[in-house]
A and B are shown apart, each in its own frame.
Chain A
Amino acid sequence: MNELVFFINNVVIAGSVTGSIYAIGAVGVTLIFSIMRFAHFAHGDMMTFGAFMVLLLASAFPGAGAAFGVPAALVLLPVAMALTALLAVGIDRAFYKPLRAHGVKPIVLVIGSLGVTLMLQGLIRLFSGTGGSSLYVDDRKEIFRLALPFEGVRAPVVITEPQLWLFGITLVAVVGLHLFLTRSRLGKAMRAMSDNPDLAQASGINTNTIVAVTWVIAGGLAAIAGTLLSLDVTFKPDLSFFLLLPIFAAAIVGGVGHPFGAVAGGFVVGFAETLAVFNWSVLLRPFRDSLPEWLTQAGNLAFVGTEYKIVVPFFILVVILVWRPTGIFKGKVI
């Protein structure tokens, strides 16, 4: 049974954590894709920017959380979301909108977003340095150890406070987005524009407003993802550049332009990653006596070492592009 606990800690919880982060990131990418039709490469650094804003704010007001009994970072998250949303809208006005106005191909926007990514990266590192720092400025990271009520189980299930927050906020964000897209006038207009931009314009929908709304949502979500990721581990300026590939893989797996597909894709990629680096020989240990020797002798039954984790989203990406480029939920744009 200790092996099962090990499995829960290393796969179920870890997979849910990475899955949630990827899901929130991928939703933003897929929304931008469905409205503006390009892969937004600066998304990872938008996430970092959000987390960095939280870091700055939490350093400035370390006591902000005490009044509510939660970490200061979480209390200040809405402010960081607003700032990141503002940044996203500003970036669009300054860099993407002029390119769109020229009627360039989407791939030129992709290159433009790479330029934006470098600018953000440079700015963040210029101010934060290249080292890591904890978002828990003045608070303590709570760690919950839940002992399972079984005979002979010594290891507890371990889950940390930011992880619980992550699950809760992910749930709220996804439900909130669903309600926004299906109930609100702007949300429906967003879906309409993603379906058929010309007709949306002919219906009198102001496409500039929709673009701005998309950036606000994507920026806010990016700030959430970046902050929660940094709470779970630690804030590093280059953290999210490595998230780009899994996030794009998640968006494509879910079918580009399909927000709930992106959520599913995020969890698919997240769990695939943790399952691939999990050492399966641990689970074989209880059956040691009844298995052939060569199988128990194999010390490491992980599919890939943690240093090759990035292979997993790439593999998923290749498989989905070969097998079903529209994604499992049939996205709109191939």
Chain B
Amino acid sequence: MPLLDARNVHGGYGGMNILNGVDMAIESDQIGVIVGPNGAGKSTMLKAVFGLLHVSQGEILLRGEPIHNLPPNQLVQKGMGFVPQENNVFPSLTVKENLEMGAFLKPGNVKRMLAQVYDFFPPLHDKRHQPAGELSGGQRQMVAMGRALMAEPSLLLLDEPTAGLSPLYMNEIFEQVKLVNSAGVGILMVEQNAKQALGIADKGFVLAAGQNRFTDTGAALLADPDVAKSFLGG
């Protein structure tokens, strides 16, 4: 049974449909990457999965259980974590407090998960008593991912985790995504840096105009001349 199975998802904001039938499935140990041109509905799809957007048609299953249109806090309880693209930390809270907020629904885990998150992101341990608002962009991204991991999700949704980061940090983030995945967390992420992202993807989804254009393994998509020509800039 796939970890996440979205079938024919339609949805949008205030009557305007942005998603016109998207299919998406990933297994529990896979990294799924959504790429596509601007306005294709990449982030919208991620929000639909996390219950931030009304799904008008189709269904989304998490381990076979329908979850579309459930409120976010219930999805967190069911093992989903979400890292928004912007404003993804609590700036006046310290790093440690940020992470604790991630485990709000599972207060028993805090100690164990803190240790694990510090393991994934060593710089956070040194800065744990600093307000998150004072950190650099890359470190904030780590706090954001760490916060989502605190609830021990089985599926982590990342919305453009490398947006606005320098190439150096970008590689670091991709490495960390792989690391998190190898610890058994399924990942679904939206990325602008399509080539690099598809490089680590088990499954890639190329969206255009709210529909699937290409769906394959990351390597196969990178090798496909059609994909390369129209979406990866030649």
A and B in contact, CB less than 8 Å: yes
Q: Which residues of A contact B (CB under 8 A)?
A: 185, 188-189, 191-192, 194-196, 198-206, 332
Asked if B151 contacts A204 (CB within 8 A), the reply is yes
A188 touches B73 (CB 8 A): no
Q: A192-B93, A201-B72 are in contact. Are A185 and B87 (CB under 8 A)?
A: no
**B residues 72-107 with Cβ under 8 Å of A?**
72-73, 76-77, 82, 84, 87-93, 97-98, 100-102, 104-105, 107
Please determine whether A202 and B72 come into contact, CB atoms closer than 8 angstroms. Answer: yes
Nearest to A332 among chain B residues (CB) is B92
Taken together as a complex, chains A and B put the C-alpha atoms of A189 and B92 apart, in Å, by 12
Given contacts A204-B72, A204-B73, contact A195 B93 (CB under 8 A): yes
Q: How far is the CB of B183 from chain A (nearest CB, A)?
A: 20
- CB pair B104–A195 under 8 Å, yes or no, is no
Contacts of A205 in B (CB 8 A): 73, 101, 104
Total interface residues on B, CB under 8 Å, equals 26
B105's closest neighbor in chain A, by CB?
A: A204
CA distance A199 to B87 in the complex (A): 8
B147 interface residue per 8 A CB criterion: yes
**Cross-chain contact A185 with B97 (CB below 8 angstroms):** no
For this complex, 7 residue pairs linking A to B, each with C-beta atoms less than 8 Å apart, are A192-B101, A195-B90, A196-B87, A196-B90, A198-B84, A202-B82, A204-B73
Instruction: Select from chain B the residue with minimum beta-carbon distance to A205.
Output: B104
Q: What is the chain B residue whose CB lies nearest that of A189?
A: B104
Q: A188-B97, A194-B92, A203-B102 are in contact. List 12 more A-B contacts (CB 8 A).
A: A192-B90, A192-B101, A196-B87, A196-B89, A199-B84, A199-B87, A202-B84, A203-B104, A203-B147, A204-B73, A204-B151, A205-B101
A189 and B82 within 8 A (CB): no
A194 to B50, CA, bound (A): 22
Contact between B76 and A203 (Cβ–Cβ < 8 Å)? yes
The minimal Cβ–Cβ distance linking A171 to chain B, given in whole angstroms, is: 24
Chain B residue with the shortest CB-CB distance to A182? B97
B153 vs chain A, min Cβ distance (A)? 10
Residues in A with CB closer than 8 Å to B148 are: 203
With a cutoff of 8 Å between Cβ atoms, the chain B residues found around residue A194 in the complex are 92
Flag if B72 contacts A189 (CB, 8 Å).
no
Smallest CB separation, B96 vs chain A (Å) = 10
Q: How many Å lie between the Cα of A200 and that of B73 in the bound state? A: 9
